Amino acid sequence: MRGGAPRGVRFGQPVQPVMQVGKSGDGFADLILAALTAAWWLLRTVAAAVWRFPVVTAGVAVVAVAYVQGEVLTLLVVVCVVVAALLTWWLLRPASFARWVAGPVRRRIKRRSVHRSWPGLCERAGLSLMEVDHRAGGRTCWTPGLSRLRWISREHEVLQGQVRILAGQTVDDVSAASERLASACGARACRVMQTSPRSASITWLYGDPLARPVAPRPVPDVPDCAAVEVGQREDGAPWQLRVAGTHLLVVGVTGAGKGSVIWSLLAGLAGGIRSGVVQVWAVDGKAGMELTAGRALFSRFATTVEDGVQLLEDAAAVMTERAARMAGNSRTHQPTVEEPLLLVLVDEVALLTAYTPDRKLRERAEKALAALATQGRAPGVVLVAALQDPRKEVLGPRNLFPTKVAMRLDEKAQVDMVLGEGAREAGAHCHRIPESMPGVAFVKVDGVREPVRVRASYYSDEDIAELAATYAPSTVRPGVLQVVGDMPVTVAGGEAA
Ligand SMILES: Nc1ncnc2c1ncn2[C@@H]1O[C@H](COP(=O)(O)OP(=O)(O)OP(=O)(O)O)[C@@H](O)[C@H]1O
Rounded Cα distance between 283 and 262, Å, is: 12
**Ligand 1 atom at minimum distance from 407 CA:** 21
Q: Which residues are annotated as a binding site?
A: 252-259
Residue 335 · residue 341 · CB < 8 Å: yes
Confidence of residue 238 (pLDDT cuts 50, 70, 90): very high
CATH of domain 108-207: 3.30.980.40
What pLDDT does residue 476 have? Answer: 47
Q: Which of 229, 260, 261, 437 to mutate to test the pocket of ligand 1 (most atoms within 8 A of CB)?
A: 260
Check if 271 has its Cβ closer than 6 Å to any atom of ligand 1: no
- Name the E strands within 93-225: 129-133, 138-143, 145-153, 158-164, 189-196, 199-205
pLDDT confidence tier of residue 41, bands split at 50, 70 and 90? very high
pLDDT in tens, 447-465: 888 899 999 999 999 999 9
pLDDT class of 482 with cuts at 50, 70, 90: low
- Determine if ligand 1 sits within 6 Å of the CB of residue 257: yes
CB atoms < 10 A from the CB of 211, how many? 13
With CA atoms as reference, report the closest residue to 265 among 224, 205, 300. 224
Q: Which ligand 1 atom lies nearest to the CA of residue 231? A: 1
The residue whose CA is least distant from atom 25 of ligand 1 is: 254
Interval 399-427 mean pLDDT: 90
Q: Are 367 and 321 in contact (CB under 8 A)?
A: no
Please answer whether residues 491 and 291 qualify as being in contact, where contact means their C-beta atoms are separated by less than 8 angstroms.
no
* Nearest atom of ligand 1 to the alpha carbon of 388: 25
Instruction: Determine if ligand 1 sits within 6 Å of the CB of residue 216.
Output: no
Does pLDDT of 207 surpass 80? yes
Q: Is pLDDT at 477 greater than 60 in this prediction?
A: no
Binding residue numbers for ATP: 252-259
Structure confidence at residue 327 (pLDDT): 75
Site to substitute for ligand 1 among 435, 458, 463, most atoms within 8 A of C-beta: 458
Query: What pLDDT was estimated at residue 108?
Result: 87
pLDDT of residue 66: 86
Give CA angle at 325 (319, 330), nearest 5°: 100
pLDDT at 9: 40
Q: Ligand 1: which atom is nearest the Cα of residue 289?
A: 27
Neighbours of 6 (CB within 10 A): 19
**137-166 burial string, b = 16+ CB within 10 Å, else e?**
eeebbbbbbbeebebebeebbbbbbebbbb
Q: What percent of the chain has pLDDT over 70?
A: 89
Give the pLDDT band (50/70/90) at residue 11: very low
The pLDDT tens digits for 297-315 are 999 999 888 999 999 999 9
Q: Is the pLDDT of residue 487 over 80?
A: no
**Is 252's C-beta closer than 6 angstroms to any atom of ligand 1?**
yes
For residues 225 and 450, give the distance between their C-alpha atoms in angstroms, rounded to a whole number.
Answer: 22
Superfamily, domain 228-490? P-loop containing nucleotide triphosphate hydrolases (3.40.50.300)
pLDDT at residue number 74: 86
Cβ(213) – ligand 1 distance below 6 Å: yes
% of the chain with per-residue pLDDT over 90 = 43
pLDDT level of residue 5 (50, 70, 90 thresholds): very low
| 482 Cβ inside 6 Å of ligand 1 | no
Provide the pairing of β-strand 138-143 with 129-133. Answer: antiparallel
Q: Is 335 in the pocket of ligand 1 (CB under 6 A)?
A: no
**What are the extents of the domains in the chain?**
35-92, 108-207, 228-490
Give the distance from CA 99 to its chain's centroid.
26
What residue type is assigned to position 435 of the chain? E
Query: Which pLDDT value is given to residue 2?
Result: 37
- Which comes out higher in pLDDT, residue 16 or 415? 415
**pLDDT, tens digit (0-9, with 9 covering 90-100), for 349-387:** 888 888 888 889 989 999 999 999 999 988 999 999 999
pLDDT at 188 over 80: yes
- 72-99 pLDDT, tens digit per residue, is 888 888 889 999 999 999 999 888 888 8
258 lines ligand 1 (CB under 6 A): yes
Tell me the mean pLDDT in the region 156-167.
90
Q: 199, 161 in Cβ contact below 8 A?
A: no
Give the pLDDT band of residue 497 (cuts 50, 70, 90). very low
